[in-house]
Chains A and B, each alone.
Chain A
Amino acid sequence: MATTPNKPAAANKSSQGFVYLPLIAGWLVPGAGHFLLGKWIRGLLIAVSIIAMFALGLAMQGKLYTSAQDILDMLGVAGDLGSGLLYFLSRAAGWGGTPVQTTVADYGTKFIVVAGLLNIITAVDAHNLRTGRKSS
């Protein structure tokens, strides 16, 4: 008699629901992917780090990339987009200095871009936790 083999609990868990939800949520809101997986402390640390980095970048009059005139601008837009809703809300509110005139403002621009890139790393980490590629 044919019987269905028992799958491990982790495999069953990873096949339930929309697999890409932590990835998308983590991209849109920093830390949300980890919150969805019940990793509260990690999610909180990630949210505080990325939101603080983004906010400090704005406070230093960092520039938000809005259009891609050349390859460097294109990379800047890609980095900024990594922050998800933070970027869209900031653009809608008109935050961020446009021309970089001081060294600190240039640092602020880098803070904003790196916050976005770090957010992409955390969203992928949440996805790996969800799929079981990362154990814990």
Chain B
Amino acid sequence: MHPSHFFAVLLFALFASTVFGITMRDTPPKMFRYGAYCFVLFVGSVIVFSWVMFFITR
């Protein structure tokens, strides 16, 4: 299996966020919100740091 790097990031973020949401909060609505928050932070930070590295190498 050879996913693209970004697709691998999406999979990683999805699974890790699911576990973080379930284990770090008490009620299902809070779990969902925290999981979504973690997912956005994972993917968002990857996009930001990717652009930072792109400009560093130029």
What number of A residues sit within 8 Å (CB to CB) of B?
A: 26
**Chain A residues in contact with chain B, CB under 8 A?**
42, 45-46, 49-50, 52-53, 56, 59-60, 102-104, 107, 110-111, 114-115, 118, 121-122, 124-125, 134-136
Judge whether A118 and B2 touch: CB under 8 Å: no
B2-38 CB contact bits vs A (8 Å, 1 = yes)?
1101001001101110110011001100000000000
Count of residues in B whose CB is under 8 Å from the partner chain = 16
Which are the 3 A-B pairs with shortest beta-carbon distances?
Answer: A59-B1, A125-B23, A49-B15
| Interface SS of chain B | helix
Knowing A52-B15, A56-B11, A114-B12, say if A46 contacts B26 (CB, 8 Å): no
> Which residue of B3, B12, B16, B23 has the most chain A CB atoms within 10 A of its CB atom?
B23
Pick the residue among B1, B2, B8, B19 that contacts A49 (CB under 8 A): B19
* Whole-angstrom CA separation of A129 from B19 in the bound complex: 15
A49 contacts B18, C-beta separation under 8 Å? yes
Q: A102-B2, A111-B11, A121-B19 are in contact. List 19 more A-B contacts (CB 8 A).
A: A45-B18, A46-B22, A49-B14, A49-B16, A52-B15, A56-B11, A60-B8, A103-B5, A107-B5, A107-B8, A107-B12, A111-B8, A111-B12, A114-B12, A114-B16, A122-B19, A124-B23, A134-B26, A135-B26
